[in-house]
Amino acid sequence: MSRITVTPMTKNIGATVGNLDLTKPLSSQQKTDLKQALMDHQVIFLRDQPISHEQHKEVGKVFSNLIVHPGAPSIEGHKDIVAIHADENSKYIAGDNWHSDL
């Protein structure tokens, strides 16, 4: 299995992770590399990954235990996933005035 690629976005923060297919189970090395990429760059982007809710949760578990958000409704059937969506018709945008990650 190939190692992931990590491409910094700026000199201070953020990186794009490549050479990774989140629709397949991750190896121990890939999990280690993902955690290290987050520690090194504080924000990572895993672009164009057509993953299911279950696969999304598996990726989240790479970084920590999943929790239920105490102040936002979850999506049906997945108490530990909150949908965040905004478009041109939205009257409210999550994080507009205040934001907290869990």
pLDDT tens per residue across span 38-70 = 999 999 999 999 999 999 999 999 999 999 988
The radius of gyration of the chain from alpha carbons, rounded to an integer in Å, stands at 15
What's the pLDDT band for 19 if we cut at 50, 70, 90? very high
What's the pTM? Answer: 0.82
Q: Give me the pLDDT at residue 101, please.
A: 67
User: What residue has token string 């000199």?
Assistant: 11
Calculate mean pLDDT across residues 5-28. Answer: 97
Degrees, nearest 5: CA angle 78-18-45: 50
Angle between helices 53-63 and 28-41 (to 10 degrees): 70
Q: Is 57 in contact with 81 (CB distance < 8 Å)?
A: yes
**Number of Cα atoms under 13 Å in the Cβ half of residue 52:** 7
Delimit the domains of the chain by residue range.
Answer: 5-50
Closest by CA position to 46, among listed 86, 12, 67, 19: 19
